[in-house]
Chain A
Amino acid sequence: MFPKTIFLYLLVFFLIVGVIVFYVWERVTAVRLTIQLEEKREELNSLDNELNSLKIQLSRLSSRKRLEPLAKNLGMKYP
């Protein structure tokens, strides 16, 4: 029969180890998630930048100076 006191010690030991492991796991996960969050933030920034760049391109391409000759070539007339 397993002595009761040893069982108690083992239980306490595993509990302590469990808490430590849980604490470390929690810290590691938190750091990993923070890094992932930062990566997503970077991705968002990069997409925002791409959107801005497309908006700028749109603004440049929709200028009257550029569109008027194109419209003339297509045979369009002024209203």
Chain B
Amino acid sequence: MPPEAKPRLGAAVLISLILWLLLVGRLLSLQIVNGGVYRRKAERQNEERVVLEAERGDILDRNRQILAASLEVSSICVLGHQIDDPDGVAAKLSRLGLGEKEEIFRKLSSAKGFCWLKRGVPERIARSVEEQKIEGVYRCRDRKRYYPRGKLAGNVLGFVGKDRQGLEGVEYAYEHLLRGVDGWAVLQRDPRGGLYPFPEYPRVHPMKGADIILTIDANLQEIVEEELERTVSSYSAKGGTGILLSPKTGEILAMANYPSFNPNLMGRGDPDTWRNRAICDLFEPGSTFKIVMAIAGLAERAVSLDELLPVGKRWIEVSGVKIRDLKEHGDLTFEEVVWRSSNMGAVKVAQRVGEKKFYLQARALGFGCKTGVDLPGEVKGHLNHPDHWSPLKFANLAFGQGVSVTTLQLACAYGAVANGGVLVKPRIVKAILNPEGKELSNPSTVVRRAIPGGVAKTITETLVGVVEKGTGIGGRIEGIAIAGKTGTAQKSDGEGGYKNGSIIASFVGFFPAEDPSFLLCLVVDEPKGVRWGGDLTARFFGRVVRKMLRIRPYRNAIFSSPELVGM
């Protein structure tokens, strides 16, 4: 090597050494010093954490018929920034059957990033959209809540919102169980942006929500709804409710509302039809409330069944106000007072019982407090303390005016009579079926003994007389002992008075009277063309029971084995 080359070689070696050192330094910086930061950056680009949505639990009737279920459906979504020609795309999508072109165009133009174009589209349309491979328009898998029986028990089931959260009824009350637990997974992103699973990447599987088994029987629900609609339409009434329950267990076998709504068509119906009137709406019960007077009278020994009460006059006067009966009659025994639903007789017995004891009996039967049913929106009704009662108010209370109740409260109070005096908490959920298939039953709960056993039996016998020879004769059915009571109440005008000619008709009956397994409470709001509503509701009751008899297990339960077991 020539001597003059030596320094140049030295310089070259030094420079390359420095370059190598810089390179190694940079590598150290990238891999070790800032390695964590760059690794996380790369992971963010290559990996994506996706939520695996849990399937919502089903709602079933007591015979495991599906009343609400979730189905995977196809939806069409768009990425707004990927669409260059919204007008052309809208025309194309409209031709494929996704709706009006203007509507689609409006959605495409306003979409900046991700947005749903249409959720729950038929499979055929979804497939043709996918085949078109339109930039920015994609087919996505989505879940939709589906109610196969349409309107059936709509007010009980409730509905879910667009993001599948329960908003009403059982869907809302049992949201925490139905919803399930979402899972998640980390997926690898390929250069085209597609996602695929990678062996070591973590994944937490979603957990399906629990299935809810209701106490409702879809067949009975259908019968009560059918007859309710028929009665309301025939009398051009404003609405109505009907509850069929098992007094022994508190199981609600049917809970009907009219007008009702179809939860499949949520967002299109009248919001006024969404609420469950059987637990949310209050009404003055009228004569069906006379049961409080009758129970208190017998329990306090203020009257005996065959005691003759002086109600033969045309009216009785309380604080200057005349209280009359529907028809004039002679003096009546206490039993006849109940059969003929005499207001004057009820006032006389209530006055003997006294305000405080009357109030305590009404409270013991559950009036003025919530029944505790497992449905949202229940109201407690109005039953003032006797300190606020005037003699006239007390007299009115004896025949069910000046107090407001829900249909369910009324049903439960009669349920206590049917059940030998024991008040049972009503329930709509029979059992919960967890995702592993294990059934957790929801047992019946006794609230309290509301009536002495002997008195409950006497009242039941008296109520049988109401249907056999009293105001409830329209509900009579050959071969079945039915205990029941009719009611007609004037309707409040909301300003302290009563609407002229507007009534609320009700009937509560339970059967077979010897060992009641079924109780049916019916209320019709403002039926037209009738002055006294007891007869129309009693006939309504009779029609429901006759239809029930067409179903063999119930027919057997009514005629031979009264226990409601295994149905």
* B389 contacts chain A at the CB level, 8 A cutoff: no
- Mask of B189-201 contacts with A, CB within 8 angstroms, 1/0: 0000000111100
Given the known interface contacts A38-B197, A49-B72, the answer about A79 and B555 at a Cβ–Cβ threshold of 8 Å is yes
Which residues of B in the span 197-214 have a Cβ within 8 Å of any Cβ on A? 197-199
- Mask of A39-61 contacts with B, CB within 8 angstroms, 1/0: 00000011001001101111110
Interface centre among A56, A57, A60 (most CB of B within 10 A): A56
CB within 8 Å: A-B pair count: 55
Q: Which of B62-70, B301-309, B315-323 contacts A (4 or more CB under 8 A)?
A: B62-70
* A20 contacts chain B at the CB level, 8 A cutoff: no
> Which residues does chain A contribute within 8 Å of B66, judged by CB atoms?
55-56, 58-59
For B, the interface residue count at a CB cutoff of 8 angstroms equals: 24
**Minimum distance in angstroms from A25 CB to a CB of chain B:** 14
* B357 contacts chain A at the CB level, 8 A cutoff: no
**Minimum distance in angstroms from A76 CB to a CB of chain B:** 11
Give CA–CA (A45, B196) in the complex, Å.
17
- Mask of A59-72 contacts with B, CB within 8 angstroms, 1/0: 11011110000000
* B69 engages A31 (CB within 8 Å): no
Give CA–CA (A60, B152) in the complex, Å.
11
* B196 engages A65 (CB within 8 Å): no
* A21 contacts chain B at the CB level, 8 A cutoff: no
> Which residues does chain B contribute within 8 Å of A57, judged by CB atoms?
148
Given the known interface contacts A45-B72, A60-B148, A63-B222, the answer about A31 and B199 at a Cβ–Cβ threshold of 8 Å is yes
**Minimum distance in angstroms from A31 CB to a CB of chain B:** 6
Which residues of B in the span 170-225 have a Cβ within 8 Å of any Cβ on A? 196-199, 218-219, 222-223
Which residues of B in the span 128-171 have a Cβ within 8 Å of any Cβ on A? 146, 148-149, 152
Given the known interface contacts A49-B71, A55-B66, the answer about A30 and B149 at a Cβ–Cβ threshold of 8 Å is no
Q: Identify the closest chain B residue to A42 (Cβ).
A: B141
> Which residues does chain A contribute within 8 Å of B65, judged by CB atoms?
59, 62
**Contact of A38 (CB < 8 Å), options: B67, B72, B196:** B196
**Minimum distance in angstroms from B17 CB to a CB of chain A:** 31
- Mask of B12-49 contacts with A, CB within 8 angstroms, 1/0: 00000000000000000000000000000000000000
* B149 engages A64 (CB within 8 Å): no
* B552 contacts chain A at the CB level, 8 A cutoff: yes
* A16 contacts chain B at the CB level, 8 A cutoff: no
> Which residues does chain A contribute within 8 Å of B69, judged by CB atoms?
52, 55-56
* A78 contacts chain B at the CB level, 8 A cutoff: yes
* A35 engages B196 (CB within 8 Å): yes
Give CA–CA (A16, B555) in the complex, Å.
82
* B550 contacts chain A at the CB level, 8 A cutoff: yes
The 7 A-B pairs of least Cβ separation, nearest first, read: A59-B66, A60-B148, A30-B199, A49-B72, A78-B550, A56-B148, A59-B148
Give CA–CA (A46, B226) in the complex, Å.
37
> Which residues does chain A contribute within 8 Å of B71, judged by CB atoms?
49, 52-53, 56
Give CA–CA (A17, B109) in the complex, Å.
57
Give CA–CA (A33, B197) in the complex, Å.
10
* A56 engages B146 (CB within 8 Å): yes
**Minimum distance in angstroms from A19 CB to a CB of chain B:** 19
